[in-house]
Structure 1
Amino acid sequence: MMNVATVDLHFIDMPADDTVTDATPLVVIHGLLGSADNWRSHLKVWQRGRRVIALDLRNHGRSPHAEGMRYATMVDDVLALMDKLSIERAHVLGHSMGGKVAISLARLAPERVASLIVADIAPVAYEHGHDDVFAALDNVRQGQPKNRREADNLLGEHVDSRPTRLFLATNLMRNEDNVMALRVGLDHIKQGYSDIIGVPDGEQPYDGPALVLRGGDSHYVADDMVPALREVLPRARVVTLKNAGHWLHADQPEAFQQAVMAFIDAQ
């Protein structure tokens, strides 16, 4: 296997309330085309009980762009950040692609994981499903919109869903030419897409405490995937949030926050 250099990930570090001294930190890992910024409202709730760190994976948010989207590669980035922040052990929460990073981390370095929370993803290979999203972002890159309304029109040529377009727009920033440009490493993401939709890295099951939260209206953790999930996470508790899709933390924020806190507090 070719070695890929780690990158210095951007992160948000929210200290615990003054009344909390020795609680194990929580590390939060976003999904595909997401960022740490998407989790700020949740971080403010969770920091009442512990230090919380949300990171931007490579090619996402404010982190560097670099080749290599294998899960073992992204795990190395996360471990390097934990070392930098002197975090020996943490509860690890990952959504979607970030959930596969979290599973890979738990399998490859279980001694660094106090517990695992996986949000709406299973440790299985998925079908290609982001062609329209990539086309929309390419359209923005080529169209060089001057404002967010123009960017939304360009995104809308490939993506009908307004909520999805708003989510994709979080990946835009105004550059020095006064153009709304992509801040994600889109070419690296597309190049590594087969790894992203593949299975997490690691050979052994993670036998530590695990919680899998799935959206009741989502197909990402279907019932027929649960046996494969339990092979990788034998102690996993699977909880379904009603009236929630794949972005369950946005659809049911309070229920999501409470489920995470209750699980961590029980460890």
Structure 2
Amino acid sequence: MLEPEAMMALFTQLVGTGRPDLVFLHGLFGRGKNWAGIARALADHDHTSVLFDLPNHGRSGWTDTFDYGCMADEVADELRLRLGSAASVSLVGHSMGGKVAMLLALRHPGLVKSLVVVDIAPDFSSKVVTNVPLVAAMRALDLESLSSRGEAERLLAAAVDDSAVRQFLLQNLKHTKEPGGRNGWQWELNLELLGDHLDEVAEWPEVEGVSYDGPVLWVAGADSPYIRPEHAPRMRQLFPRVRLVRIPGAGHWVHADAPAALTAELAPFLN
């Protein structure tokens, strides 16, 4: 079961029935429903999931600045609001959402019974700058003259040759009805803020004197460059009970490239 809910400024979807015990945080330009397939598979293992749209993404509110700490605190506040002071969940974060998840576990350890960090490290993520052409391509679309989603894909194809990437970006293009019945289009994500702050998206906010002592599964796509050997000491310092697994045949979008293999790692860890 997939049900939409409005949680103050953050939009969520619920997958499964009963009290949620699992939370998913998506990556840059994504949204919570990107994890719906994995969440449905884990519902068969008796997990009920909350899929968050993080700030400036999907149907959640926009902000004037990009701040990982603020995002982590906002997700923590939403969890306490919905689940109460005794809230305790397993937290899964991918890429940008993985950094939010790591910070949430470090700043609010009582909320997190276990942590899964998917294809990101507590360090500067230099590959984020490869999103600059994607931002330029999205900004180049003339939304006022756009006639259809198909036309948007054709126009994007000139700069983005990967069909899967185009579809991923276009999930953020929303069809609207303007006054007078005229069709219109708009980006649901805060493209201006995110596009102007990619360096901040790539950063990792330094934290000193803290660690998270719960179990941590660190998942790397075997074909992805985001997690490197030099990241391991810092990861172990912050998360002493970390275990690294690599998913064969997967790039950075592990949950899209190898959903069955990822679910096979998540199910026993979460149980």
Q: Provide TM-score, normalisation by structure 2.
A: 0.88
Output the CA distance in 1 between the equivalents of 2:172 and 2:145.
Answer: 14
Identify which of 68, 75, 98 aligns with 2:65. 68
2:77 is matched with which residue?
A: 80
Q: Identify the range of structure 1 (186-195 vs 31-40) with the bigger mean alpha-carbon deviation.
A: 186-195
Q: Is 1:219 paired with 2:225?
A: yes
Listed one character per residue, the Cα deviations across residues 134-164 of structure 1 (whole Å, up to 9, x for unaligned) are: 1011012556422122111222232222211
Other structure's SS at 1:31 match: coil
1:207 is matched with which residue?
A: 213
User: Does the CA-based 8 Å contact 1:216-1:243 persist in structure 2?
Assistant: yes
Output the CA distance in 2 between the equivalents of 1:233 and 1:153.
Answer: 45
- Is there any run of 5+ residues in structure 1 with no aligned partner, and where? 1-5
- The 1:260–1:222 alpha-carbon spacing in structure 2 relative to 1, beyond 3 Å, is same
User: Does the CA-based 8 Å contact 1:144-1:180 persist in structure 2?
Assistant: no
- Is there any run of 5+ residues in structure 2 with no aligned partner, and where? 1-6
1:13 is matched with which residue?
A: 14
User: Does the CA-based 8 Å contact 1:8-1:81 persist in structure 2?
Assistant: no
Letter in 1 for 2:118: A
1:91 is matched with which residue?
A: 90
- The 1:62–1:257 alpha-carbon spacing in structure 2 relative to 1, beyond 3 Å, is same
Displacement after TM superposition at 1:15 (Å): 3.6
Identify which of 230, 237, 251 aligns with 2:257. 251
**Which structure shows the bigger proportion of residues in strand conformation?**
2
- The 1:216–1:86 alpha-carbon spacing in structure 2 relative to 1, beyond 3 Å, is same
Output the CA distance in 1 between the equivalents of 2:174 and 2:206.
Answer: 32
- The 1:116–1:84 alpha-carbon spacing in structure 2 relative to 1, beyond 3 Å, is same
Query: What is the RMSD computed on CA atoms of the aligned residues?
Result: 1.9
Q: Is 1:56 paired with 2:53?
A: yes
- The 1:157–1:80 alpha-carbon spacing in structure 2 relative to 1, beyond 3 Å, is same
Q: Is 1:232 paired with 2:238?
A: yes
Letter in 2 for 1:135: A
Output the CA distance in 2 between the equivalents of 1:144 and 1:213.
Answer: 42
- How many residue pairs get aligned? The number is 255
User: Does the CA-based 8 Å contact 1:100-1:121 persist in structure 2?
Assistant: yes
Q: Provide TM-score, normalisation by structure 1.
A: 0.89
Identify which of 187, 194, 199 aligns with 2:192. 187
- The 1:144–1:83 alpha-carbon spacing in structure 2 relative to 1, beyond 3 Å, is farther
2:173 is matched with which residue?
A: 172
Output the CA distance in 1 between the equivalents of 2:64 and 2:107.
Answer: 21
